[in-house]
Amino acid sequence: MDLRRLEHFLTVLKTGSFGSAARELGITQSGLTKSIQTLEDTVGVPLFLRHSRGVEPTKYGETLAQHATLMHAQANKALNEIDAVKNGNAGSLSIGVTPSWLMEEVLPKVVSELTKARPGLKLIVMHHVSSKVYLEMLLAGGLDMFIGTEQDLSETDDIEFISLMNDVHGVIVRKGHPLLQKEHHVIADFDPYGWVHREAGTHYGRRLEALYFEAGRPLPTPAIQSNSIPFKGARRNRICPPRRRNTSLTLISARSCPHSFSQPSTR
């Protein structure tokens, strides 16, 4: 049913006159008459009784009026909401954020300012440790955007990567670790200690593989595999039993542990 003709119908019903309704709508009376006739043809019954004082609704017109009022109001509401979404004042925005960005002071400030500027916008912030998972969610339509490490976009043209900043990665170890006795390191220095690896195919996993490849050494089998940054940090800081101090290593972003991070020179 044409919403424009429903508006014409409701205006005639309100004014009780085709002439008055046509002036209010800003159209010709003949055009309005034709619109109402088309609507009557659509529903298959007369909607108005015409008399010398104007028009009044038939019993069919009264029935239609009950529904048309609601339909017209809902249509206007839908159009207003669509306009709000177009202007960024409504709808929802789903953002995936990796842990290192959650530790930054910038993101909470941006989120706070966005919710104040767009009070009708529903902001959904998701947390996962892996940018690879976020990319899969983005491709599947589960996210509008994510903030994390750059991913391989060679297989899709539908996603744009925007660089926000350059990050520094390095090896973290527990306090008092034997590696801290040296200022500069080569890859071979890490071999006596077990690595805590990220899951295969992640940015950190590929970075570690590249380090060993560039050094011409085989990638060691991980002592532990985990995608949890808090767990990996706990491995560094846990109090261990005597004569069994934890010496495992992991590769991580500087922003994930800004207060304890050091970047050894690696060749």
Looking up tokens 């004082």 gives 53
- CATH architecture of residue range(s) 3-86: Orthogonal Bundle (1.10)
DSSP 181: G
- pLDDT confidence band for 206 (50 / 70 / 90): confident
* Burial group, residue 84, by CB count within 10 angstroms (0-12, 13-18, 19+): middle
- The model's confidence at residue 186, banded by pLDDT at 50, 70 and 90, is confident
Which pLDDT score is estimated for 52?
A: 84
Separation CA 154–CA 229 (nearest Å) = 28
Give the tens place of pLDDT for each residue, 103-160.
567 778 888 888 888 877 888 888 776 777 888 888 877 888 888 777 666 666 777 8
Per-residue pLDDT at 265 exceeds 60: no
pTM of the model: 0.46
212: its two tokens? 């060993």
Domain with CATH 1.10.10.10 in the chain: 3-86
DSSP-based three-state secondary structure for 258:
coil
pLDDT band at 212 (very low <50, low <70, confident <90, very high): confident
DSSP code of residue 125? E
Query: Sorting pLDDT into bands at 50, 70 and 90, what band is 60?
Result: very high
According to the CATH classification, is domain 169-266 in 3.40.50.300? Answer: no
* CA 103 – CA 95 distance, rounded (Å): 16
Mean pLDDT to the nearest integer, 182-202: 78
Residues of the chain with CATH 3.40.190.290: 169-266
Q: How many CB atoms lie within 10 A of CB 112?
A: 10
Question: Which pLDDT value is given to residue 47?
Answer: 95
pLDDT value, residue 226: 66
The sign one gets for the Cα dihedral 132, 135, 141, 143 is: positive
